[in-house]
A = this chain, B = another copy of it.
Amino acid sequence: MAKKKVSADAPACEITCLHEDVLKRVGHGLTDPEVLRWVAALFKVMGDPSRLKIVNALILSEMCVCDLAALLKMTPSAVSHQLQILRQSDLVKWRRDGKIIYYSLDDEHVSNIFYQGLVHVNEKHHP
């Protein structure tokens, strides 16, 4: 994302093909813009292959940074950076046991969303 603002608060352009009835009806059913930004942020976090690999692994078991790094063939630093993003989005939680920090999924919504995406892809890319 780059520039975001249109010149003003007016409609984006002079459009003539509007279906006024549809706009009226749909306009009231739209999700609150701020909530929608949160949802988009959630999908964005899950939209990176490295992070989704981490989510995939944590669905199966809690794991420490080193385990994830070895399993996913990433550097511990890269894993840690991505875990920070997952942490900030409340997708994962963690517990400390001595030197080792164990990460796990924060709730079952995350795995639900993951599996919904999986189902979609499987049905789209299979005969």
Task: Report A's interface with B, CB cutoff 8 A.
Answer: 1, 6, 9, 11-13, 15-19, 22-23, 25-27, 29-31, 33, 35-50, 52-53, 56-57, 60-61, 63-64, 66-67, 69-71, 73-76, 78, 90, 99-100, 107, 109-110, 112-114, 116-125
Contacts and interface: CB of A to CB of B under 8 A. Distances in A.
B120 A113 contact: yes
A18 B66 contact: yes
Find the residue from A40, A100, A109 having the highest chain B CB count within 10 A: A40
Nearest to A109: B120
B56 A47 contact: no
Contacts of A31: 56, 118
B66 A30 contact: no
Nearest to A8: B73
B121 A42 contact: yes
Given A30-B60, A61-B26, A75 B113 contact: no
Nearest to A76: B13
A40 to B, nearest CB: 4
Given A70-B12, A116-B109, A40 B46 contact: yes
B46 A121 contact: no
